[in-house]
Chains A and B, each alone.
Chain A
Amino acid sequence: MSIINNINKVFDHRIRLGIMSILMVNEYADFNTLKELLGATDGNLASHTKALEKAEYITVEKQFIGRKPNTRYTTTKLGRIEFNKHIDALEKLINNQ
């Protein structure tokens, strides 16, 4: 049962898993980069980043580049730990079958 417990409900969506994957290997990513890489719509991506932010797995930083608003996302320490646990659990599930 412990394996099942490590499957994190917060990550149980393609887009959320995608956001975390990108942020794990990059210092940060902005909204448009995520949108392009994931092929998601504005509203869809915004709702998923909000969910990850609420779980405190990512932090959001809003700033201006020139006059354009720019939103940057970064993983938190908690987010990295939980993501690694989730991946381990996925791998174990696959190997056990």
Chain B
Amino acid sequence: MESKDYLKDLGEIKQLMNKSSRFISLSGLSGILAGFYAIIGAAVAYWLVISYSNGTLILDSKIFRLVLLDLILIAVLSIITAVILTTRKAKKHGEKIWDNTSKRLVINFLIPLLAGGFYILIILNQQKYGQTGALMLIFYGLALINASKYSIGNIRYLGIIEIILGLICALFPGYGFWLWVLGFGIMHIIYGTWMHFKYDNN
């Protein structure tokens, strides 16, 4: 064998290692859309609180429940968009959407996310809601970092950014709303755009 063959061997090894252990058909476009949903949802929540609740949020009020519903809608819409666009991209690549790699990705993403979600619900029930924004950012960041081992490695850095924003948010709860918009809205749009141009078009 010549060195050219060895080089080809190494390339093939790397490709097989990636293909067999990582799900790489994540769509960048779904990140951009998730960012827009977050910003629109945040604007709705802001408007609700300013115009019907005098700028403060009282637990167990009608407005509070509407804001909660708004948050759930953002999450559900983002997930549906991600599933549809990722399925489309996987089909185009001739990859299976539900195989070992995507299963592993979803499971590892959900573990920190659900742990955080339940934790937030529990402390909301105990009337401690000052840190909700920070906790959402931190647990979402941890979920991204955990998932990055099974997908495009770069989402790890988005995870780190979300955690840093979450910690800043914990220090300055007064800016919680704006940091939430920055983390879930603007960062998703920036990251999604970057991913879209790097991975979606080839």
Which A residues form the contact surface with B (CB < 8 A)? 12, 14, 17-18, 21-22, 24-26, 29, 33, 37-38, 87, 90-91, 93-94, 97
Q: Which of B17-25, B78-86, B111-119, B178-186 contacts A (4 or more CB under 8 A)?
A: B17-25
| Distance (whole angstroms) from the CB of A47 to the closest CB of chain B | 19
Chain B residue numbers with a CB within 8 Å of A25 are: 17, 20-21
CB <8 Å contact, B10 and A22: no
Chain A residue numbers with a CB within 8 Å of B16 are: 18, 21-22, 37-38
CB <8 Å contact, A90 and B12: no
CB <8 Å contact, A26 and B21: yes
CB <8 Å contact, B17 and A94: no
Query: Assuming A33-B100, A97-B3, is B20 touching A90 (CB within 8 A)?
Result: no
CB <8 Å contact, A90 and B17: no
Q: Is the interface of A mostly helix, strand, loop or mixed?
A: helix
CB <8 Å contact, B100 and A94: no
Q: Is the interface of B mostly helix, strand, loop or mixed?
A: helix
- Choose among B1, B13, B19, B21 the residue that contacts A87 (Cβ–Cβ < 8 A): B13
Chain A: CB-nearest residue to B16: A21
- Per the bound structure, the CA–CA distance linking A91 and B13 in Å amounts to 12
- Per the bound structure, the CA–CA distance linking A41 and B9 in Å amounts to 20
Give the top 5 A-B pairs by smallest Cβ distance, nearest first. A25-B21, A21-B16, A22-B20, A21-B13, A25-B17
- Per the bound structure, the CA–CA distance linking A21 and B21 in Å amounts to 10
Chain B residue numbers with a CB within 8 Å of A14 are: 9, 12
Chain B residue numbers with a CB within 8 Å of A24 are: 17
Query: Assuming A26-B20, A37-B20, is B12 touching A94 (CB within 8 A)?
Result: no
Given A25-B20, A87-B10, A90-B10; 20 other pairs, CB 8 A cutoff:
A12-B1, A14-B9, A14-B12, A17-B13, A18-B12, A18-B16, A21-B12, A21-B13, A21-B16, A21-B17, A21-B20, A24-B17, A26-B20, A26-B21, A29-B20, A90-B6, A93-B3, A93-B6, A94-B3, A94-B10
Chain B residue numbers with a CB within 8 Å of A37 are: 16, 19-20
| Distance (whole angstroms) from the CB of B133 to the closest CB of chain A | 37
Most interface-central of A26, A29, A87 (chain B CB within 10 A): A26
